[in-house]
């Protein structure tokens, strides 16, 4: 479990460094299972911004442990969405995934995805999370994801994340023969 904590600690440290009024949407989900007893399922979701937003979590435990978190918001900087899920059945691999996207009002987009799988041992645990915020004051939007898995000694765990940001080029104003001309790059 100690191997998973630094990744999530880094994510929340980065989230804390973001401007609070920037429309931050975040979510996380965790699920674990073993063959001999009950498993766990936890989820978080939140929206922190100056606009309109919502956050929702849902968890179920039993033969299948399921956790889901989703948050969405819109403010003067743009739109942000974060969604995470984790699924750990009593038998079979545990899986988790996250999707995060932020769109600035200038058309800049940032998205991030993550997925994890843990299996091969009676004890399996997956954790995923992420956040997204639109850019503000000329900054690009930001989306990030984390994914981790843990098993007993006979198991395997894989995790993968991917992020991409595309910024719209700023408008260029030039004077040509006494006239102002707008040109998009």
Q: How confident is the model at residue 167 (pLDDT cuts 50, 70, 90)?
A: confident
Of all residues in the chain, the percent with pLDDT exceeding 90 is 64
List the one residue out of 45, 27, 23, 51 whose CA is nearest residue 135.
Answer: 23
Please report the pLDDT score of residue 135 as a whole number. Answer: 83
Q: How confident is the model at residue 159 (pLDDT cuts 50, 70, 90)?
A: very high
3-state helix, strand, coil in the chain (%, to 5): 10, 65, 30
Please report the pLDDT score of residue 1 as a whole number. Answer: 39
Average pLDDT, integer, range 115-124 = 96
Both tokens of residue 43? Answer: 């989820």
pLDDT tens across 7-56, in order? Answer: 444 444 344 444 445 789 999 999 999 888 789 999 999 999 889 999 99
Of 124 and 3, the structure prediction assigns the larger pLDDT to: 124
Whole-angstrom Cα distance, residue 101 to residue 111? Answer: 4
Both tokens of residue 68? Answer: 């889901």
pLDDT at 145 over 60: yes
Mean pLDDT across the chain:
85
Of 4 and 175, the structure prediction assigns the larger pLDDT to: 175
Please report the pLDDT score of residue 4 as a whole number. Answer: 44
Average pLDDT, integer, range 69-81 = 95
Widest CA span in the chain: 81
Of all residues in the chain, the percent with pLDDT exceeding 70 is 79
**Residue for token pair 């995790």:** 159
Please report the pLDDT score of residue 68 as a whole number. Answer: 98
């Amino acid at each position: 479990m100690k191997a998973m904590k630094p990744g999530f600690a880094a994510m929340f440290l980065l989230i804390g460094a973001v401007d609070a009024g920037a429309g931050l949407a975040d979510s996380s989900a965790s699920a674990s299972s073993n063959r001999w007893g009950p498993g766990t399922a936890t989820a978080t979701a939140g929206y922190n911004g100056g606009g309109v937003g919502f956050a929702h979590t849902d968890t179920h435990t039993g033969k299948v442990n399921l956790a889901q978190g989703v948050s969405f918001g819109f403010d003067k900087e743009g739109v942000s969405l974060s969604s995470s899920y984790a699924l750990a059945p009593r038998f079979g691999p545990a899986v988790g995934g996250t999707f995060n996207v932020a769109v600035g009002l200038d058309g800049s987009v940032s998205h991030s995805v993550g997925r994890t799988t843990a299996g091969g041992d009676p004890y399996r645990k997956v954790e995923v999370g992420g956040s997204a915020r639109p850019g503000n004051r000329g900054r690009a939007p930001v989306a990030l994801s984390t994914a981790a898995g843990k098993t007993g000694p006979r198991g395997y765990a894989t995790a993968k994340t991917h992020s991409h940001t595309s910024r719209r080029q700023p408008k260029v104003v030039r004077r040509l023969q006494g006239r102002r001309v707008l040109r998009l790059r």
